[in-house]
Chain A
């Protein structure tokens, strides 16, 4: 069964600290993996997209990694800001047949 799992379910950190969010998937075939950021009361917005051959991709303070062998991805946030408080959703694309969504990780950054 195609599935995407994320951990932790929620996370609280202090402003300025780093954090890492995890995504494990059992989706096949695999086309690409995307991370979305969703602010409270808003729709998700794309952060990164990674294909099978990419190991690391950065978008400002966000760095995503992908290990296609172990079917794991992580999203690392550096020097967190209050505006990073949001839900982060991992989404796996199996060649357009369907996009499989993870449940999300709720991140709260406190001053």
Chain B
């Protein structure tokens, strides 16, 4: 069974902290994505990557960066966490035929 694993289900961080959200997939997919999901707004794309060391900005990249050093791992970085980054973060990998496979999500609270 294919899997996308996010390292933390719940996370509480202080304003100004640097935060790392980790995501690992075991499907050898080239495409990986980070979304945030907020009530009433649906999923919004933060960053995505089509290959190792490649990254592209999504719709809301401000305040975030990413790292893709290995094919299976895609990390989302909040350089200086702010309260408006409190959200549910979803990592996904994608195969053209199968579509998205999502991780279980990380509920981040910034206080």
A36 to B104, CA, bound (A): 14
**A99/B105 in contact, CB under 8 A:** no
Could you say which residues of chain A place their CB within 8 Å of the CB of B88? 41
Least Cβ–Cβ distance between B17 and chain A, in angstroms: 23
A37 to B92, CA, bound (A): 15
A89 to B90, CA, bound (A): 14
Could you say which residues of chain B place their CB within 8 Å of the CB of A102? 42
Could you say which residues of chain A place their CB within 8 Å of the CB of B47? none
**A45 on interface, CB distance cutoff 8 Å:** yes
Looking at the complex, which one of B9, B43, B96 makes contact with A101 (CB distance below 8 Å)?
B43
- Chain B CB count within 10 A is highest, among A36, A44, A89, A104, for A44
Could you say which residues of chain B place their CB within 8 Å of the CB of A36? 100, 102
Q: Beta-carbon contacts of B15-44 to A below 8 Å, as 1s and 0s?
A: 000000000000000000000000011110
**A34 on interface, CB distance cutoff 8 Å:** yes
Say yes or no: A103-B42 contact (C-beta < 8 A), given A42-B105, A43-B90: yes
**B102/A91 in contact, CB under 8 A:** no
Looking at the complex, which one of B40, B96, B102, B104 makes contact with A96 (CB distance below 8 Å)?
B96
Residue positions of B touching A, CB distance < 8 A: 4, 9, 40-43, 88, 90-92, 94, 96, 98-105, 107
**26 intermolecular pairs with C-beta atoms under 8 Å apart:** A34-B99, A36-B100, A36-B102, A41-B88, A41-B104, A41-B105, A43-B4, A43-B92, A43-B103, A43-B104, A44-B90, A44-B100, A44-B102, A45-B102, A46-B98, A46-B101, A49-B99, A91-B99, A96-B96, A99-B99, A99-B100, A101-B43, A102-B42, A103-B41, A103-B42, A104-B42
